[in-house]
Amino acid sequence: MSLANGFLPITAEEVRELGVSQLDFIYVTGDAYVDHPSFGHAIITRLLQSHGYTVGIISQPDWKNDDSIAVFGAPRLGFLVSSGNMDSMVNHYYVSKKHRETDAYTPGGKPYMRPDHATVVYSNLIRKKYRHIPIIIGGIEASLRRMAHYDYWSDSFKRSILLDSQADLISYGMGEKSIVEIADALNSGIAVKDISFIAGTVYKTKDISGLYDYELLPSYDDMVSDKTLYAKSFKIQYDNTDAFNGRTLIEPYPNGVYVVQNIPQAPLTMQEMDDVYALPYQRTYHPSYEPLGGVPAISEIKFSLISNRGCFGGCNFCALTFHQGRTVQVRSHESIIEEAKLITRDKDFKGYIHDVGGPTANFRQPSCQKQLRAGVCKHRQCLCPEPCPNLEVTHSDYLSLLRKLRSLPNVKKVFVRSGIRFDYLMLDKDDTFFRELVEHHISGQLKVAPEHISDAVLSRMGKPENSVYEAFTEKYHRLNQKIGKNQFLVPYLMSSHPGSTIKEAVALAEYLRDIGYMPEQVQDFYPTPSTMSTVMYYTGIDPVTTKRVYVCKNPHEKAMQRALIQYRNPKNYELVREALKLAGREDLIGFDKKCLIKPRKLAGEAFQQMPKSQKAKGTDKFSKKCNNRNKCKENDRHTKKKTIRNTHKKKT
């Protein structure tokens, strides 16, 4: 049941308007209410609604006010809690741990509208008010923190979020199947403490005697005292993220408590995916946000199409393996085209579909047919360090889809802005897709993610060797030349990833010098929960090889690695100079065309080239030094003149 405006209720008055005395579920989210399938709360609430359950939404409650959680009273079956589309700590903080100035998931982009660790705070608020009502937590924050994990922002090793939140269950991963099964179990009268049999869930218990075919992980206390055990535990978890061959995992805690992770929910079939995206979404934010300026995040997805989920790319710094899994799931062409037609009828549509993709745009099928029978391989990746012999490479289905979309009435252009996995693209012996991508689906520049050029660092990242990217860039420019276009490549680069020393950072700077490119933005490695790279950062160990890994944690060294990537920026002069001296690469300071910066005596010239606003601030370390040096020279000149005058007086 929906209101006249098409949205789900957000007030008690709206519930009464629907003729409902008590809602079945109340969904509490850290995001603004946006009824669009790019938002997790929209999918889960609409899915429950389609199965006959009534749902109300409490968006961004005031966590300092107990009554903010009591808008609808108590639900009949339970509370559903999520931090939103992002982990609340990533949403709040830069990698420097400084607070972000805006929040794209809040009306008007206003920050500070949700607490840190929102899932825990909201759940504890509910538990305080409603002691015996079931609480099911989900979304990316709960999913990636479902077992013991490293928390970068507090620099601490935390327990499963299930324990800290006082929730009863976690619905991890994308959750469509598990949430319906949980709802049906509760509706049938099964107590929440007895719901221990649903795939894609995590529960707590003191009795594991009835379990079988499970793997016992190191205990929380043992992992706290020995980081190597956490690296071991994470590898086991990583190897059990597949619904076909994953095993039940048990993590022991003090006082006889066990956190039990059931196997993941099965991948959605094409029909199931189509059904999810055919639900009656309003495809925009709640109208009550209009006076506040709307919700900024809608602009990124309003005219975009999701065609797939899951990723077999295996990047170590990405949490997709833990959240969506490695098995690619896709929607049918008919489903996507139907949604595209809805987009073209929007009053704000200008003829441009901004994106057709997902985690990786050019993955439109599982990496091999074996995955659908036996699951993904536990002890090897599909693409790295070398492509698997069983890897099936084709872009024919994706190409066919794009052709259909760009032929729709009122569609001027269809862009591909999701990540393109360039190594997979290079394995395709048929160049048709690559050629049409360049000709029809790029808006002047293509963004790709080589991340680094050092093979030593790339191996830690789970990325292909740099030679693959080099071959891709050559082919890209050749295709552009052939069709008479001059479109650019914009590479995403990352500094300070585990395995990267100053030496590798200098090598990356030299590469950028050679290609004549300085990126406007650089991503410093961000240790987010439940990624292979974050485990390396915390433990100093590669969980796959069990070998030690160099980890850059010193803020000053991180600043130097970042500055090297933008070595041309005058503000970075001192950091770059210090880094080059530290690396023993003072040969890169000089006048030769191979040098990154000029000698220090010319620093004043660099300062003169800085914007006036930067000079006026006088806060930049580099500008201060330049000013002080100039003052010293001026004082020296005055002192010298005064000494000459005094000497002359004495002689006369």
Q: Does the pLDDT of residue 613 top 70, yes or no? A: no
Residue type, 528: T
320 pLDDT above the threshold of 50: yes
pLDDT tens digits along 169-216: 999 999 999 999 999 999 999 999 999 999 999 999 999 999 999 999
Tokens representing residue 177 in the block: 């199947």
Q: What is the DSSP letter of 544?
A: T
pLDDT at residue 608 in the model: 56
Q: Residue 23: its pLDDT value, please?
A: 98
Q: Is the pLDDT of residue 368 over 80?
A: yes
**The predicted structure's pLDDT at residue 321:** 86
- Secondary structure string (H, E, C) spanning 13-54: HHHHHCCCCCCCEEEEECCCCEECCCCHHHHHHHHHHHCCCC
pLDDT above 70 (res 626): no
8-state DSSP, 93: B
267/601 Cα distance (integer angstroms): 62
Query: Which string of b and e fits 356-365 if b means at least 16 CB within 10 Å?
Result: bbbbbbbbbb
Which pLDDT belongs to residue 600?
A: 78
The lowest-confidence range among 132-141, 250-259, 396-405, 640-649 is 640-649
What distance in Å separates the CA atoms of residue 50 and residue 237, rounded to the nearest whole number? 33
pLDDT digits (tens, 9 = 90+) for 39-89: 999 999 999 999 999 999 999 999 999 999 999 999 999 999 999 999 999
Tokens of 364: 């439109």
Residue 520's nearest CA partner among 555, 490, 560 is 490
Contact 351, 413 (CB under 8 A): yes
3-state secondary structure of 408: coil
Give the model's pLDDT for residue 610: 56
3-class SS of residue 634: helix
Give the pLDDT mean for 590-608.
76
pLDDT, tens only, 34-45 = 999 999 999 999
Secondary structure element (H or E) that encloses residue 5, with its range: none
CA-nearest of 19, 100, 106, 97 to 59 is 106
Tens-digit pLDDT profile for residues 431-478 = 999 999 999 999 889 999 999 999 999 999 999 999 999 999 999 999
- The yes-or-no verdict on residue 631 having pLDDT over 60 is no
pLDDT average, residue stretch 327-346: 97
What's the confidence (pLDDT) of residue 419?
85
146 within 8 A of 170, measured Cβ to Cβ: yes
What's the confidence (pLDDT) of residue 611? 57
Is the pTM of the predicted complex or chain greater than 0.75? Answer: yes
Between 608 and 268, name the one with better pLDDT: 268
pLDDT band for position 157 (50/70/90)?
very high
Confidence of residue 307 (pLDDT cuts 50, 70, 90): very high
For residue 514, give Cα distances in angstroms to 68, 479, 510, 595: 57, 22, 6, 10
Find the mean pLDDT for residues 357-363: 94
Please report the pLDDT score of residue 300 as a whole number: 86
Element (H, E) at 567: none
Task: Give the C-alpha separation, 410 to 345, whole Å.
Answer: 9
pLDDT tens figures, 83-111:
999 999 999 999 999 999 999 999 999 99
Q: Is the pLDDT of residue 28 over 70?
A: yes
Report d(CA 272, CA 279) in Å as an integer: 11
Give mean pLDDT, residues 129-138.
Answer: 97
> Which domains, ranges and CATH numbers included, belong to the chain?
12-204 (3.40.50.280), 303-442 (3.30.750.210), 444-598 (3.30.750.200)
Burial bucket for residue 591 (CB in 10 Å: 0-12, 13-18, 19+): exposed
The length of the chain is: 652
How do strand 25-29 and strand 78-82 relate by DSSP bridges?
Answer: parallel
For residues 540 and 241, give the distance between their C-alpha atoms in angstroms, rounded to a whole number.
23
One DSSP character per residue, 469-496 reads HHHHHHHHHHHHHHTT---EEEEEEEES
Q: C-alpha angle with apex 252: 251 to 253, nearest 5 degrees?
A: 120
Opening angle at CA 488, ends 397 and 351, nearest 5: 55
Identify the pLDDT of residue 650.
41
DSSP sequence for 347-404 = TT--SEE-EEESSSTT--S-S-TTHHHH-S-SS--SSSSS--TT-----HHHHHHHHH
486, pLDDT greater than 70: yes
Q: Give the model's pLDDT for residue 623.
A: 38
| Mean pLDDT value of segment 578-601 | 93
> Does 359 sit behind a cis peptide bond, omega within 30 degrees of 0 on the bond before it?
no
Average pLDDT on 380-392 reads 93
Residue 641 has pLDDT above 50, yes or no: no
When the pLDDT of each residue in the chain is averaged and rounded to a whole number, the result is 92
Tokens 């160990």 found at: 541
CB distance 458 to 470 below 8 Å:
no
Please say if the pLDDT value at position 635 is more than 50. Answer: no
Q: Mean of the pLDDT values across residues 553-579?
A: 96
Banded pLDDT at 268 (limits 50, 70, 90): very high
pLDDT value at 511 more than 90: yes
